[in-house]
Each structure stands twice: as structure tokens, then as C-alpha cells.
Structure 1
Amino acid sequence: MSQARGRGRRRDGHEEEHENHERWLVTYADMLTVLMALFIVLFAMSQVDQTKFEKLRASLAMAFGQESVAFDAQGKALAGEAGGSDTSPADVTVGQPQDAKTKEAAKQAVAAAERARASAGQRDAKREVDEFDKIKKRLQASLARQDAANKVRFRIDERGLVVTVVTDSVVFANNQAVLLPAGQRIVDTIAPELRPLPNGVEVDGHTNRLPVVSGPYPSNWELSTARASTVVRRLAGDGIAARRLTATGYADQKPLHPYGDDQAMELNRRVEIVVKSRLPAETRTLLPSAAGQLPTG
């Protein structure tokens, strides 16, 4: 009996420890704790800063100067707050009908934003047209000193300031793309005014509709491109950075005057030096209307 009782004890008199078969629960609990912490962090990161939304709402209200539509962190529209309305804000969610007041507030906000964008675009277009007009006047004065003012015309379109050089026999020989001395003087007079500008410069060659019957060029496509390239090389030689220059030939495909006009054959045979606009595409479309506001003469 004494031997049997002694088997369950160690020699020092303490009972042996039983093997713990539930230690995996500790590891499992640790994993759950880590996962819970992870989801808490993800949830916290997904919350939108309500203060920033309030600042945005106030800024829009001040910019529009009228009742506007603000958005809370859940993506709901709140109408009437900026205008100080006594009515409670109306929540608008996608797929739910809007009441008349909320619809009107949203319409006013969109209309105000469109007016603000259009007004800013018109101001930018007018500012650039004014700069183009200054360039034009400087060019006119320089060309007048070279007795070449009658060889150059100016206009503004959605590309920018267009300087049209009529390529008659004084500028280019018939069916040739080599600048004659008078043509060289015209390009050399234009180049100094364009050199300090940040704008790109596009040179477009145009011919009239008479077919090429002699010379080194098989068609008006090659002739118009060669003339544009000749002007580009001259401008580059006058100090305009090559990266700013492009040359394109259009043959007779973009006539400036209808061929019923007595001067069409002469005036459509031209090289256009375009001082390109730096405005965004949608604002560049406003340049012709802004140019129409300039005084003539």
C-alpha cells in the first residue's frame, strides 16, 4: 500500500504536474485579440474627418454666396444649412426621391459652379488675348520698319495667335520651298519677338488648289510640308529652341478664303506661324470670342 501511494509522488514529496492538453486555447485567444485590433484600426481608418467636411461646406457656401448643398461623412446631401434656413436639413441618398427644396438647392449649386467656371475661363481667355495683342503690335511695328507689313496678317483662333505670311513670289518661288531674301527678312523679323516667349510655335504650310506640275515636289503635300520645314529651320537658326517648334503641311485642304473670292488663289498660298495658347483645351475655345472684344485698327 505504501508503495502504491508513493508512485504518485516525486522523491521530494511534491505531486507530479499533469500534462496540459488545452494550451492551444492561449494561442487561439492571442490570434483573436490581434484580429480584433486589426479590424478596429481598419474601422478607424475608414472614418471621414467630419471637421474637414464642415470646412468644405462652409467654403462652398462662402464661394457661392447662397444656399448650397453640403455632404456629411455618410455621403448624404444636406440642403439649406448655408443659407440659414429655419427648416431642418433634408437627407438625400442615391435612389431615394428628393423633395423640391433639396432639388432646387442642388440645381442652384450646380449652376453657380458652372457660372464660376465659365467666368474664370473667360477671364483667362481675355488675359491671354491681351498678351497676344501686345505681341501682334510689336510684330506689326517691326515688320513696318522692314516694309513687310502688307505681307503678314494676324488673327486669333482656338490655337492661339496666328501670323499668316502670304507665300507669293516675293517669299517663295513658284513650286519651290527655299525662302527668298524678302522671305528671310520677314521670318528674321518675327523670330526675335517669339524667342523669349514660353509658348510653343507651330508652323503650317498651305498651298492653293493648283496642282504641282514642275519642280522637285510631286504634290502639294510635299510642297506645303517643305515650306513649313524651311520656316522652322530659319526660326531655329534665329534662336528659338527646337523643342518649341513643329512643322506641318496641309496642301490645299484648309483654304482660308473660299475659291469664289478673287484673291483666294493668292491668299490661300501661305505659311502660318502659330503662337500656341497655353490654356486648357476647353478654355482655348473661348479665345476667338475674347478676341472679338478687342478694338479694331
Structure 2
Amino acid sequence: MSAPRRRKREVEEEHDDKERWLVSYSDMMTVLVALFIVLYAMSQVDVDKFNELRTSLAAGFGAPQVSILTDGAGLMNDTSSQVVAPTIDGIVPTLAGAAHQTGTENGSGESVAAADLAAARAEYADMEALAERIEAALAERGLDGALQFRINERGLIIGMVTDEVFFAAESAVLTETSQIVIDTVAPYLTVLPNEISVEGHANSVPTTSRYLTNWELSSDRATQVLRRLVENGGLPGSRAAAVGFGEARPLLPNETPEGLAGNRRVDLVVLSDEPERIRELLPLIPTLEEG
């Protein structure tokens, strides 16, 4: 009887696929085609709608009505027959950005921009009226001119320039005059819904007292003013904060006597609660009103 034959183990030869790179290549080409399609779609601008928006915004802010001639001529041909539409950047520098951020909720770029400007004018008028009421109340107590008022994109800034009136040199102790001024201002701030930021500043003269630096000195002055507003004036602490800037934000050059006096101050900032696009227009209101 013969021994059983052993079956030879069949070894399949591994197939060498030399065309596998085509799969990766085709995937890459598909992605590139999709990318170029997206880029092409993003590059398309509706010129007619853009010109209508530009013209309506310019007309809404006092620029003359314009027309754009489309006679098929090239950009560099016979410029005497072309009318260039004026931009509104010279009228309201930040208006274009504001209109872009708000969109066209009511279907017209002009109405959106006009609404923003109207809101900025109303906010500026409210801040200005608040400053006038505070100034009148101080004048009744013989303290007219004790505070400095200015309006910027943050809101109304009420400047308490120390100059030995509100604080002694290198001291955070409130003087009698500063207490009267703060108590006079407090009722007008308490009834507002706005956040109040009490900001201490110092000049560049190094401290020699118990304060290590002007950071501590300016912070302590801001804190003392805030405590007076909250504890005696009834300002809700949830709407107030105190911060010290040291000598980092001077109003005037510290090299002059005026700068040394003016930079040693505490600012009461009535923060505007309007959207950013409205607040950015506030510094432009006086210029627009004069124009």
C-alpha cells in the first residue's frame, strides 16, 4: 500500500497592482475641481446691485445723485465721457463697514445705514443731555467746570482731573470737594441702565509713598470713587467696576505741566449699550452735524 501523496500547498502569488496611484490621483483632482468651482462662484459680483447700493448710500447722506455710463468703453478710454460715482467714505468713514455688518434687513442699503446713523445721533444726544444735567447740578453748588466731559465710541466719559481738587498728591483719600462732586453725580448715574466703569489714571511721576507703583495708586483712587458711588450714592454694584491704568493711557504729554496735572485723573465712563456698529459712529456725530 503506497503512502498518501501530500498535496502541495498552493501559494498564490500576490498580485502587484501598479495602478493604485490612480485612485489617489483621481480623488485629488476631484477635490481641486470642487475648490476651483467654489473660488469661481465667490469671485462673481453683481455689479448692478453693488452700484445701486453705493449710489443709494451716497444719496442718503447728502451726496449728489449720480449716474454711471455703460457705453462699452474700456477703463482707460476717453475718461472725459465717464462719470465716477462718489464714495461715502468721506462722509461717514465707518458707514460702509456698519452697513455690511447689519445686512439689509429691510431690503435697502440706504435705510439700514440711515437707521444706524439715526440711532447714533439719538445715543449721542442722550449722552450730551446727561452731561448738561450733571454740569448744571454742579453749577448750582458752585462747582461748575469741576468735571470734563467727552463722548467717544465707548460712551460718555466724565473726567475727574485731580490737580489737588479730588486727591492730594500720591494719595487715594477723597477730599471734601471730591465727595461733594461724586455725591452730586451719583443720582444721575444710579437711574441709568448703563454699565459704569470707574477708571483711575496717573502721570509719569514715580510714587514715593506707600504705593509701590502708579498701578496701585490709580487702582486705589478708582476703588475709592467707586465705593463712594455705591455706598453713599446707591449705585448698584452689579453695574459698576473699578480699574487702574497707571500711566499707560495719558491724555496729554507728561512732559508738560498741563499733562502732569491732566493725566492724574479718575474717569467715570457711562458705557453705551448700543451695538458696536452704532458706537463706532458716535465720534463722527459732531462733524456730521457741523456739515
Letter in 2 for 1:148: L
Q: Which moved further from structure 2: 272-281 or 256-265? A: 256-265
Matches within 5 A, 1:1-297: 95=40, 103-108=46-51, 111=54, 113=104, 114-214=109-209, 216-237=210-231, 238-293=233-288
Displacement of 1:224? 0.3
The code of the aligned residue for 1:229 comes to: T
Distance 2:287 2:188 in 1: 23
Q: TM-score, normalised by structure 1?
A: 0.62
Partners of 2:280 and 2:116 in 1: CA distance: 10
- Give the whole-Å Cα distance in 2 for the aligned partners of 1:242 and 1:97: 50
Q: Measure how far apart 1:219 and its partner are.
A: 0.6
> Residues 293 and 234 (structure 1 numbering): CA distance in 2 closer, same or farther, change over 3 Å?
farther
Q: Unaligned regions of 5+ residues in structure 2, if any?
A: 1-37, 57-103
SS of 1:171 mapped into structure 2: coil
Find the residue that maps to 2:46 and give its secondary structure. Answer: helix
Q: Which is further off, 143-152 or 249-258?
A: 143-152
Contact 1:171–1:179 (8 Å) recurs in 2:
yes
The 8 Å contact of residues 206 and 252 in structure 1, kept in 2 or not, is answered as yes
Distance 2:39 2:270 in 1: 47
Q: Verify the 8 A CA contact 1:126 1:291 in the aligned structure 2.
A: no
Aligned residues: CA RMSD:
2.4
Q: Greater shift after overlay, 258-267 or 108-117?
A: 108-117
DSSP-derived class of the 1:263 partner: helix
CA gap of 1:107–1:293, structure 2 versus 1, over 3 A, is closer
Pairwise CA distance, 1:95: 4.6
User: In the TM superposition, what whole-angstrom CA distance separates every residue of 1:130-182 from its partner, at most 9, and x where no partner exists?
Assistant: 00111011001111122222221100011100000111222112111111111
After TM superposition, the score normalised by the length of structure 2 is 0.63
Q: CA deviation at 1:240?
A: 0.9
C-alpha distance in structure 1 between counterparts of 2:213 and 2:268, whole Å: 22
Q: Provide the C-alpha distance between the structure 1 equivalents of 2:166 and 2:42, rounded to a whole number of angstroms.
A: 69
Aligned residue for 1:150, secondary structure, equals coil
What's the CA shift string for 1:173-212, capped at 9, x where partnerless?
2111111111100100110111111111111100110000
- Give the aligned length: 200
- Residues 129 and 291 in structure 1, CA contact (< 8 A), matched pair in contact too: no
Distance change >3 Å, CA 291–CA 247, structure 1 → 2: farther
- Aligned residue for 1:264, secondary structure, equals helix
CA distance in 2, matches of 1:124, 1:152: 27
Matched to 2:116, the amino acid is G
Q: CA-to-partner distance for each residue in 1:42-81, whole Å, 9 max, x for gaps?
A: xxxxxxxxxxxxxxxxxxxxxxxxxxxxxxxxxxxxxxxx
Secondary structure of 1:182's partner? helix
In structure 2, what is the equivalent of residue 9 of structure 1?
A: none
Q: Deviations over 1:198-244 (max 9, x none)?
A: 11111110011000012x21110000011111111111121111111
